[in-house]
Amino acid sequence: MLARPILLRRALPCTLIFTAACVIAGPKDKEPAPRFNATTTSGEKFTNDSIKGKIVLLEFWTTWCGYCANEAAFVDKIGHELADKGLILLAIDVGESKKTVKKYLEQHPRNCKIVLMEDTNLAAMYAATV
């Protein structure tokens, strides 16, 4: 049982580095992203048009996910450090009520743009499950 969490913790930085390398290398096919919309808890709206030419990191999470809680500070740090280079970090809570997320964030504040599943079609597009 202990080996899996250790492997997952080590895999996240490797996955993010690999993803960043792929983004820097550029897409092989110039295929547009699926049409989406997202509204943050602060009311900021994002669509394909508003993010054109920028790099977007989508983090799908829930309040009950231990791995999500463990990686939140790391993901927020990446979002903050790369924001001036055009990175947009959208942390999308999957399947929980606004009340549940608000209560959780009062005790575990995040330093990124929070999107609720009811305010976006991204979770469905990427078949996100946590």
Domain locations in the chain as residue ranges: 29-125
What residue ranges of the chain have pLDDT lower than 70?
1-32, 126-130
pLDDT of residue 86: 87
Please name which of 125, 110, 102, 103 lies closest in space to residue 80, comparing C-alpha atoms.
110
pLDDT of residue 99: 94
pLDDT of residue 28: 55
pLDDT of residue 69: 92
Q: Scan for tokens 């924001």, then name that residue.
A: 83
Sheet holding 55-61, edge to edge: 45-47, 37-40, 113-120, 87-93, 55-61
pLDDT of residue 29: 61
pLDDT of residue 107: 95
Q: Which fold has domain 29-125?
A: Glutaredoxin (3.40.30)
pLDDT of residue 55: 87
Instruction: Let me know: does 78 contact 112? Beta carbons within 8 Å.
Output: no
